Amino acid sequence: MLKLGGPQDRVTDHRINKSWGNLDAVIDGNLGPILQKLQELS
């Protein structure tokens, strides 16, 4: 499950227990750090 938002300004993927800050950048399309981590785990 991928969770966006909240007062913490972060994106969290509970499947891998990982969070990334700067929600605005993610919403703007900066998915690089998230995709990189998912590729490392595959």
The residue ranges of every structural domain in the chain are 2-41
pLDDT, one tens digit for every residue, the chain (42 residues):
667 766 788 889 999 999 999 888 988 999 999 999 999 998
SS3 string of the chain? CEEEECCCCEEEECCCCEEEECHHHHHCCCCHHHHHHHHHHC
Q: Give the CA dihedral 17, 8, 10, 12, nearest 10 degrees.
A: 20
Beta-carbon count within 10 A of 23 CB = 15
pLDDT of the residue at 16:
93
pLDDT of the residue at 30:
95
Contacts of residue 17, Cβ cutoff 8 Å, sequence gap at least 6: none
